[in-house]
Structure 1
Amino acid sequence: MTEALKPALAFDSAQDLDELHAMLDGVRMKNGWAKPTPSLYPEPKRPFIPAHWRYADARAALHAAGRLVGTDRAERRNLIMANPVPGNDYGTTRTIVGAYQMVKSGEYARSHRHTPNAMRLILEGAPDAYTIVDGKRIPMLAGDVLLTPNWSYHGHDNQSGRDAYWIDFLDVPLAEYLGPIFFEIHPDTLEQSSEAAPLSPMRFAHSEYSVRVAALQDTSPGVKCLELGPPRLATFDRVIVQMAAGTRWNRPRTTVNQIYVVVKGSGTATSGEHAFDWNPGDMIAIPSWHDHHVHASSDATLLRVSDAPLMRMLGWERTALASR
C-alpha cells in the first residue's frame, strides 16, 4: 500500500462502535448513523415564532433616538424587529429583517450600497423627502413602496419640515448565512442628484397601486391581492392585500416566511396561541410553518413581504395542504 493510501489510524482494530467513534474524532470525521440530532425530519422545525410590533412604540422610540443618536454616529438610525426567541438579535424571520427608520427634518443619511436587497414602505413621508437610488431622487410619500436592489447606491435626504418614518426590509439574514456580504460607502457621502424621478421603476406609489388593487377580483371572499412588480427581487416579494371590513382570511402553514405591515385599517391576527391587535404602521411576523388568520375590523390595506420567490426558485415552496 502506498503512503498516500495508508489510513492515519488502524480503523480495523476497533472492537466496538465507541472505539470507532473515538478514532473518527481523531481524523475530524463524524459518523452519520448515531448523530445526536437528525439532519432530516418529517416537517420543518419552527425556531422563530409569530410576533407583533406596534408602530406607536417604534415611533416614540425613534423620536427619542432622534435626540440621542445622530446620523454621524450611526449608519442608519433604525430599530430592528428581532424575532423574540433565545439567541436571536437580528432576523425578523429566518431570511428577512424588518426595521423602523427615521430621518429627521433637514437631515440626510449617507449613501451606501451592499449585496443584500432592500425595500422600504413609507409610513410618514413628505414631498421634499427623497430616497436617492443610483443618482435618482425618488419621492417618499406615505404608503409608497421603494426598491433598492443589491449593489445599488442609496441614501436618504429629508428637506421637508417634518420627520420621515418608514420600514426597511432586507434579506441580510439570508446573505449573512450564505456569506456574500459586501458593503461600500459612496465617495460623495450623499450621492448628489438634481433629477427627481417620481415615475422611477423603483417606486410603487400608493396613489397608483391602491387604485389597481381595488379594481381586482377577490382572491378569496373580501380579500384582493396585488403583487407589486416588475421590477422584482429574487429573494423576497411585495404583495398588497386589501381586506373589506369584517373579513377573516385563513392562511395555511407554508414553508414561506412572511411579514405583514399595516398600511391602513385595524384588526386582529392569530397564530396558534399568539393573538395580536393591529393598527396602521404595525408589523407582524409569521415565520415558516405557522398557520395564521387575519381579521379586518375595518377596511384595511396590508403589505405582505415574503421569501416566496426564493422558495419557488429552489423548489421548496410547500403548504400543509400540498401532497408530500
Structure 2
Amino acid sequence: MHELGRLEDLPQDYRDELTKLNLVPLWPSLRAVLPPNVPTRKTQPTFWAYDTLRPLLMRAGDLAPMEKAERRVLVMANPGHGLEKMQASAAMYLGMQLLLPGEWAPSHRHTPNAVRMIVEGEGAWTTVDGEKCPMARGDLILTPTGLWHEHGHDGDQPVVWLDVLDLPIVYFMEASYVIPGERQDTKASRGDRAWSRAGVVPSPVFERSSKRNPVLRYPWAEARAALLGLAADQPDLEAVQVTYVNPETGGDAENILGFYSLMLRPGQTLRLPARSPAQVFHLIEGSVQALIVDSRFNLAEADTCCAPGYEAVTLTNLQADKPAFVFIADESPLHRKLGVYENRG
C-alpha cells in the first residue's frame, strides 16, 4: 500500500484557507480512519479488582449522600479512551453502584439502555416500568431505553451491582438525555415468573405483550441451572454458554448490547475466537484467568475485565474441582445491525 501525502506537505496558506472554510483534506488522515486489515482500537485490555474497588465504593457511601448523588457509582473507565470519557469500550459503559439500607435512588428514565448485574447483598429492588424486581447475587435486571426505573433497599447490608450501559454510543449520536420522575406505583405481575421455564410460554402465544421485552429480571438461579443442565446434557460441548434473550422473539434481550453467561468446567481452558465486538467479563463464581492480547488477568469473584474487538480471548478455570461462571457483555447486536460483525476465528 503506497504512502499518502502528509498535512505538513501542503503550503501553509492553503491549509489556512481550508481551515477558514471548515474544510479538511482527507488523504493525510485516510489511514487513521481506514487502516489496513484491522480497525484502530482505543479499547485496551483493562482489569478492575473488586477487593480494591469495594472500599472506595463504601467510602463514597459516606462522602456522597443519595440526595447529592442520585446514582452513587464508581465508573470503570478504560484508559485507552481517556478516563474523562467514562467508557469501557466504544459502545459500553461500566459502573459499580452502591445502595445502602433504607435508601431510595429516585425514579428517572433515559435514552441509553442499561442492565444491572447484582454483585453482593440482599434486600434491594429496582422498579422498572412499574414492575418491582428483587435483587439477588448474579441476577440480571434490564432497564431498556425510555422506561422509568428507580432503586430501593429494605435490607440491612450494602447492595452493590454492576451497571452496563450503551451510553457511549448513544452519547456519540447526540441522543443521550434523562427525565426525572416520581416514585412509581408497582404492579403485581412479574415477567420472570411467567417466562421462567424453557419450552413453556404463556398462552396464547400470538398475543405479544406491548413491552419491548416481557422479561425484565433474569434470576441467576435459573441461568445457573440452565448452564449446569446444558453441561450435563452435552458433556462434549466445549463452550457451555447461554444468551439472555427476549423469550417472545428469540432476539437479544436489548437492542445494542448482548448479554451471556458462560460456564467453564473444572480446570477447563476455553479460547474465544477473535470477533469484531469488544467484550466485558465479570466473574460471578469461581476463579478464572483471562489472557487478552499480552495481558493476563486473574479474576476472583466480582472482578471485571474488558477486551478489545478483533482479539481472541482465552479463559482458564483455575479450580480443578469446581465450575466457574462468567457474565459477558458485548457489542454484538450493534455490530450485526450495522452489518460490520465479523468472526475471524
Q: TM-score, normalised by structure 1?
A: 0.87
Shift of 1:221: 5.2
Is the 2:72–2:97 Cα contact (8 Å) retained in structure 1?
yes
Give the superposed CA RMSD.
Answer: 2.2
Give the partner amino acid of 1:207.
A
1:37-186 equivalences in 2 (<5 Å): 38-42=32-36, 43-85=38-80, 87-89=82-84, 90-126=86-122, 128-186=123-181
SS in 2 for 1:238: strand
How far did 1:287 drift? Answer: 1.8
Q: Structure 1 residue 275: deviation in Å?
A: 1.0
Number of the residue aligned with 1:202: 216
Distance 1:212 1:303 in 2: 14
Q: Which residue of 2 aligns with 1:244?
A: 265
The reply to whether residue 31 of structure 1 matches residue 25 of structure 2 is yes
Report the Cα distance in structure 2 between the residues aligned to 1:221 and 1:168, rounded to whole angstroms: 31
Q: CA deviation at 1:254?
A: 2.0
- Determine helix, strand or coil for the equivalent of 2:59: helix
Question: For the Cα contact (< 8 Å) 2:81–2:87, is it kept in 1?
Answer: no
Q: Does residue 318 of the first structure (1) align with residue 342 of the second (2)?
A: yes
- Out of 294, 308, 319, which is 1:287 matched to? 308
SS of the equivalent of 2:343 reads: coil
1:256 and 1:307 in contact (8 A); partners too: yes
3-state SS of the aligned residue for 1:112? strand
* 2:325 partner letter: T
1:272 Cα deviation from its structure 2 partner = 2.4
Whole-angstrom CA distance in 2 between matches of 1:114 and 1:227: 25
Scaled by the length of structure 2, the TM-score of the pair is 0.82
Does the CA-based 8 Å contact 1:266-1:279 persist in structure 2?
yes
Amino acid at match of 1:193: T
- How big is each residue's C-alpha offset from its partner over 1:51-102, in whole Å with a ceiling of 9 and x where there is no partner? 1111112222111111121111112111100012363330011110111111
- The answer to whether residue 230 in structure 2 is matched with residue 216 in structure 1 is yes
Is the aligned partner of 1:277 residue 2:298? yes
Residue pair 1:221, 1:247 contacting (<8 A) in 2 also = no
Q: Specify the SS of the correspondent of 1:216.
A: helix
Q: Distance in 2 between matches of 1:84 and 1:34?
A: 27
Contact 2:114/2:163 (<8 A) preserved: yes
Distance 1:221 1:114 in 2: 40
Is the CA contact 2:45–2:308 (under 8 Å) kept in the aligned structure 1?
Answer: yes
Which residue number in structure 2 is paired with residue 5 of structure 1?
none
Query: 1:7 corresponds to which residue?
Result: none
* 1:174 counterpart SS class: helix
**Secondary structure class of the residue paired with 1:276:** strand
Q: Residue 43 of structure 2 contacts residue 81 of structure 2 at CA under 8 Å; is this kept in 1?
A: no
User: Kindly tell me: are residues 86 and 219 of structure 1, through their superposed partners in 2, closer, same or farther at Cα, counting changes over 3 Å?
Assistant: farther
Structure 2 match to 1:296: 317
**Unpaired runs of 5+ in structure 1?**
1-15
Cα separation, 2, equivalents of 1:38 and 1:107: 48
Q: 1:104 to 1:35 in 2, by over 3 A?
A: closer
Report percent identity of matched pairs.
Answer: 26
CA deviation after TM superposition for structure 1 residue 252, in Å: 2.9
1:222-237 maps to which residues of 2 (within 5 A)?
222-230=238-246, 232-237=253-258
Choose 111-120 or 79-88, whichever is displaced more: 79-88
Question: Larger Rg: 1 or 2?
Answer: 1
Residues 254 and 185 (structure 1), Cα distance of their counterparts in 2 relative to 1, 3 Å cut: same
- 1:36 Cα deviation from its structure 2 partner: 7.4
